């Protein structure tokens, strides 16, 4: 999916047209259609991401997750311990993550065994 495809899908989800989005964000006419062929500047990417409450990485196609963990945590005022854990997980190799989950599953009596 291209960056413009993602943008168009987000517009459809909000039931607005691309032209309406351009007007709401004070972009020039057809400027968002230019995203089909070129990457926009960072400021415009951020404006669109903020409008739709998605990450810039989502718009760029770097992830299929619309919002990053940190924005969700800060929005929900989650305990800072969770952020500390997430930072540690981000530094781990896949093998280290697997071991950590196994250890936590043992310590917390199978809490990490399934997603239910």
pLDDT of residue 107: 76
Which domains are present in the chain? 3-67 (1.10.260), 70-107 (no CATH)
CB burial of residue 73 (10 Å; 0-12, 13-18, 19+)? middle
pTM here is 0.60
* Rounded-to-integer distance, Cα 71 and Cα 52, Å: 13
Q: What is the pLDDT of residue 14?
A: 94
Which one is predicted more confidently, 26 or 114? 26
State residue 20's pLDDT score: 97
More confidently predicted of 21 and 64: 21
Instruction: Please identify which residue in the block is written with the tokens 């995203």.
Output: 35
Q: Which of 95, 63, 69, 103 is nearest to 83 (CA)?
A: 69
What residues contact 56, with CB distance under 8 A and at least 6 apart? 42, 45, 46, 49
What average pLDDT does the segment 28-51 reach? 92
């Amino acid at each position: 999916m291209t960056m413009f495809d993602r943008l168009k899908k987000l517009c459809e989800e909000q039931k607005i047209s691309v032209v309406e989005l351009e007007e709401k964000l004070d972009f020039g006419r057809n400027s968002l259609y230019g995203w089909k062929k070129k990457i926009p500047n960072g400021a415009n990417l951020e404006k669109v991401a903020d409008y739709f409450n998605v990450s810039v990485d989502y718009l760029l196609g770097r992830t299929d997750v619309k919002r990053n963990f940190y924005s969700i945590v800060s929005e929900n005022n989650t305990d800072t311990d969770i952020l500390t854990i997430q930072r540690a997980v981000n530094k781990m190799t896949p093998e280290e993550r697997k071991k950590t989950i196994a250890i936590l599953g043992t310590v917390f009596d199978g809490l990490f065994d399934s997603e239910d």
